[in-house]
Structure 1
Amino acid sequence: MGIKLNELLESIQMEDTDLLHLRTVEGLDKRIFWANFFTQIPQVINHVIIPAEIFKLTAAKPAVINDEGIFITLDFVHTAEKEAYLKGFIPFRWDEDTDVEMRIDWLCDADGSVGGVAWGIEYLAIKDNEAVDGATATITEAFTGRTAGLMRSNHFTTKLLKANLEADDIISLRIFRDHDHAGDTLDQTARFLFLSMYNTLIQNITSDRLIKVLNLR
């Protein structure tokens, strides 16, 4: 039972109030309104984690490439804008109707709860026959740190917007500390650990899986 039902059903002209009748070979059946069909199938979120040591550095690199225990860090000072770069592909089977959520993990050597650090992500996604030096998009947000030595995980409110991305694009990311931002009030170095991407996957729904999701067995 390997028919991709999502592809089949999406090709049929259905109204939200239409009733979909699903039946198994064993004779069990279920009826569900078309408007509720895909909402009953849980989303699958793909989590890609990118450690500090993967990023490429230029002349404006962080002041220090360091370690904390067995974790590599990039240390961003509060007095100048430093940056690090990453290139890769838009995740496979990314759902083009969704934005991509970003998270940053970092720490401070002293008490970081007394101020904020403004982290920024500048990005551009391109494919064949598109400008490499095209207009970029940037998200910047200030986060309060934790006490000395504790990892702080922050999710950006603004996401990588679907309008700026396409499947199979190559994406370049620049992370930086915006020391001129009004929310960057912590007068100490912020030590970057990881960047994470959360993207929703397109689901190829087989009939076997659909039966399990809708509790027909």
Structure 2
Amino acid sequence: MIRRSTLSLALLALMGACSLAGARSKPVALPDARLDAPLATGQDQVAVLAGGCFWGLEAVFEHVKGVKAVVSGYSGGNAMAARYALVGTGKTGHAEAVRIVFDPKQVSYGQLLKVYFSVAHDPTQLNRQAPDVGPQYRSEIFAASAQQQEIATAYIAQLTTAKVFPAPIVTKIEPLKAFYPAEAYHQDYLRLHPNDPYIVYNDAPKVVNLKQLFPQMYKGS
């Protein structure tokens, strides 16, 4: 599998038409989740979400107020195969995902899902996001609790009924079994490599969209 960082600007230009056709160029304004956990004092909580390249997901959620830490990694497969070279084959059962640690006093799980569906990825793309294709790039929510599963299920049903997207939502939901951190060079990739062509074209716009659509939730670097 070719590492994304090796993509040149020339290659991105050649694939631009395909990427623009597969990527959503503008964020989608979404309603709040009707079913959500209220903001409340308590221990930090964890959300695990998958939706394309983990670089972009990590970058978006690192800029959400109330989020304390975001780690890129793999979920959905076993520990032995949780390595980039193997996950990249699309045969291990993993999805590229992020583990989000958040303060429930500042941000709710439903609010994180609103960001996830609106600016972090396109939930109508099956086993792909923009130029990245394969089941490892699928849209999936790994629920860390029964409450999270209930909220996620209800929100997808709410968005489906409201017909906020031009195509059906394909996001899967399953209980979180394990999360495996990715290799060190994948962590904080946008922050460390802001001029990487892949980042400039695919992921940096997501952070801009977050700031524009959710100014009250946005935090700087």
TM-score normalised by structure 2 residue count: 0.28
Instruction: Select the structure that is richer in helix.
Output: 2
Pick the structure with more strand per residue: 1
Larger radius of gyration: 1
